[in-house]
Structure 1
Amino acid sequence: MYTKLLKSITSLSLIGGALLYTNGSDVKAAEVGVFSDVPTSHWSYPAIKDLASKNIISGYGNGIFGFGDVATREQVAALIYRVLVPNKQGGSFSNDGTRYVLKDGSTFKNPYSDINQSSTMFPEEVLTLTNLGVFKGDENGQFRPKASVSRAEMAQILTNAFHLAAKQKHTFKDVPNPFWAENAISAVQSNGIADGTGNGNFEPYGTVTREQYAQFLYKTLKYKNADVKDTGDAALLTAFKEEVQKRINTYETTITLPYKTKNNNTDEVMNTLFNAYKEVASKNEYTNYNRSNVSYGLSGSPGNYTFTLKITYRETKEQTEYVMKQAKAIASSITQVGMDDHEKVKAIHDYVVKHVSYDTSYKAYTAYEALVNRSAVCQGYALLTYQLLKEAGIENHFVTGTGDGQPHAWNLVKIENKWYHLDTTFDDPVPDEQGRVTYSYFNLSDEQIARNHEWNRGDYPQATTNYYSTLTNKIAAGSTKTPAYQQILKDTKLNYLGNEYIANNYTELKNKMQQRYSAKPEKIEVLYKQSMNGALQDVKKAIGEIDYPQGANRVSYKAEPYNAKEGYSLVTITFTY
């Protein structure tokens, strides 16, 4: 039985699948497998019977094939569409007729002045195949759906649709030299699809009938199936992956590939091929997370399939190329010679936080928008961070999960063989303040970021290292980089994890304040084990008990969250003398 299967993922999540069947007249034709007006002794009978059994040809209805009738351009398009495309969605033209909008929202341009809802039964088929490069209009911008097809045109259409390659030059006497379809005619002859009309002639200007077209298409499909050598599923899958890689590298929106296998389990084959696509796509995290929608389907008879991917990209190929070029230039300008990975990661973190603001309209998802418009949601932040780190030679990953219970994206970064979480979005709070940089989500461990982030940990490397310990150990070891590490500690406020700043209870808070009073400080900072409100109340109480430092006449204080140590608040007390 001929089957068509369709599944779709949106925003990187599988949303559904269905087994689709063609309409009733097609099924009837497939069951009968023969038409009353097709002689069983005619050379085209096996081809027509085979194509009807696969629901590719359905005839006019009532068991009539239309034997001897001229094959029209729209009919040729309809049959090739049924072979190449897993399902017909249906759609409608825009008000001005220049676009055809499918039910899934994707759009085809309509380059033809004579293709509209009333001129043809097959607008989706014609425009889809035009988009795939199978058809072109004439010099007047018309498709001519009811026009006949010449044998030369048929050779060219089949060559375009099925990527036929000429193995040698044709031998027909009546084909002009040079001739616009010469290569296509060579392709159909050298691959055994067309033998000519006898006496060494091809009759390139001859009109194709419906039974001749059936024979052309049947032999083309037979050749393509035989051409896919049965080298075993492993080798076949490798070849499939290589071809998918080529197609997604050029940002093709519709990818159609033949697949011949001994496996007759249609669902299993479809899942295998889609998993192969995901494996290929995941190799480039940047482009993988720039695809907003991927649908896929399988058509054909068991063992002889056609797999189709339809991909919607958030960025165009040109926009991605712009990001690559700019990221390279930016990374080069902000990471200086002699910097190690600790310094590079901080420089990139700071650049993104300073140059991008959060898109509160939730429309900008790309690094391109983060660069050009300087605004994006978390996906744009993380993609720009990813590419800048990559250009700086720092291994990192794009992470998806939730932050504060909402869908979210951030990065995992590898420094000296240790992994850390880096969330440039959460370090750039809303509303945006020019030049402000925070470090609450700078190089955190799994344990630290898990307080308000969730992700599938099995999909990513473990981050088990406390970054404060990393820096203090490097400072203790001593090197020419010691001043740089000390500055990172200070800028990120990780220095407050030192024992000289920590107060675990009210008594310790009051003692640390008193100890520093003798130096007449303008500012006292304490990492206090208390909520922010509780910290403010305790500071007020302590000042009431121990007064101000000598000479001070005014005091102000604040408490802020401190993500690097759970349950603690950073208290800052400022005195005026």
Structure 2
Amino acid sequence: MSVLRSGIKIALSVLFSLVFFLIFNINIAGTAEVLTRDRLDCLYPAHLRYDLFYDGRLTDENIVYLKSIPHSEALRSLNVLRGDSKGNLMLDRFAERIEGATMLVRLLGVEAYAVSGKPSHPFTDVPEWAAPYIGYLYQNGFAKGIGNNQFGSRQYMDEKSYLAFLLRVLGYSEEDGDFSWDTVGKTAIKVGLLESGEETYIDRFIKRERMSQLTWRAMFLNHKFYGKPLLVCLYEQGKVRRDNLSMLFAKNKNRLIDLWYANLSKLEEAFLRHDEKIELSLSHTQVENDYLKYLEYTLERVQLSTGVYTRGFFTKLWQQGNNYSLVVYPRYQNTASRDEKLRLMIDRIVSEIMSPYMTDYEKVKAAHDYVINMIEYDSRYRNNSALDALESGYGVCSAYSELMALILNSAGVPCRIVRGYADVSHAWNMVSIDGKLYHVDATWDDLGTYGGEQLIRYDYLNLPDAEMEKEHRWEKNDYPACTSTEHNYFVKNNLLAKNSEDVIAIIAQAVENRQNSVTLKYAGNDADKLMIHKIINDVNSRLALELGYRISHYVYTRNDTYLTYCIFSIDYEPVGYVD
């Protein structure tokens, strides 16, 4: 009888999983809150995405796809960004003014015209080979010199100067009052060339990689007069060649990843049933081209879409004539019944911490805070799964990142687990917010407890690659680039301080709101002179009467890598208080 009951339980579990799968797929068509494969696609680099058809028309879908391609790869294909004789794009090198100018001419698709026309310019420091480029930009009002008939050809270019170039290319001009030298940063934010927070650094020299990034970003901004993305304008004018653009789509019916993705539906159904053995038919091309690596890519997709995770797998490959059969044996992290328990827990969590009116940013922050409040980091327990962590309250980075992915994907926010290194093997997340990608490391934002209070910082909430790679390492070919700062916690909440007065203002706001904690990031050049205790003393002495309270006790931590400060356990006393 016990065997029969066990069999009935297993059958019911499998039946529920199949019903869940059917409901899951039906809901995909009817609600934006359930992730489709297409929405997960944004979390993968171009070579690991579904193929996209291009027939010579730049559709909205094609534009979205092109926007996701790494800027250096795209501009190389369009013959805008060129390297040395060995093909090295020299992205880490600072760009000279003459490089920025020649790149703009290629961007505009007028290189041949400029070289043949040899337009004149008044500058005396321009080498002969570059004269047509500088002449074209000068004659068309795109470039100006630095004074005394000098263009500053061999001087390093600062980001502000390059932004001015791009603003002019987009149809904005100083003569029409669109911007001035002093308002370049503000105007660049307004039109979309910069994201909020990036203007802090525009006076610095620009590297070729950053120049490439801004150039590709400009391609998708509307031209002032034409009202269309610059890329579309250039394409319609014949300045961007169709064959170069076609290379970015690389349509190929035998593309390896598409052959593997043909198995996704079969694998998803098998995972939801917890099949112990899954048989796939492979082509000779698949077998001969690193089939285990591509299987890993495919199974990762399956885990994200189903919420059924594994501890790994092993395989057997069989050949019969020209046919191949790959048998996959997944090692599921949980049993079918425990995965069903996990699904119900995730549904409950999402219903408790999310609402239909929340933005994707708010959902990411809510999941981040929940995971940190729920899990206490403790490597002694070796709880690697989300379910283990939810049941015990303890876990390590893999549990944090898996729980983040389960919550956010269930809430309709694309989230992927990034596996890499941070001194040791480590896992964190990559999320998509309004189509822009960011890193999130909830594990490293967990400061533990102090005096019974859970401490949360936001140093690793929505970071771009440039910030994340200061302490983390990952295989960049397996992940798309994260370049946005728009939804970074400190940028989003106006907690990016440029000087000590900004710090005083942020802390004063916290006092006014009686916050028991406040975090901020310092972007000034004198961080070594910033003393939090002095700042708080200044707030107490200068603003206490106005605010009605002063800070009587606090504790703070500083992240030297990112220059972030987390001030917590703040106590207040009314002004005039006598001990």
> Does the TM-score normalized on the shorter chain lie above 0.5?
no
Answer with 1 or 2: which has the greater Rg: 1
The structure in which a higher percent of residues are helix is: 2
Which TM-score applies when normalising by structure 2? 0.43
Which TM-score applies when normalising by structure 1? 0.43
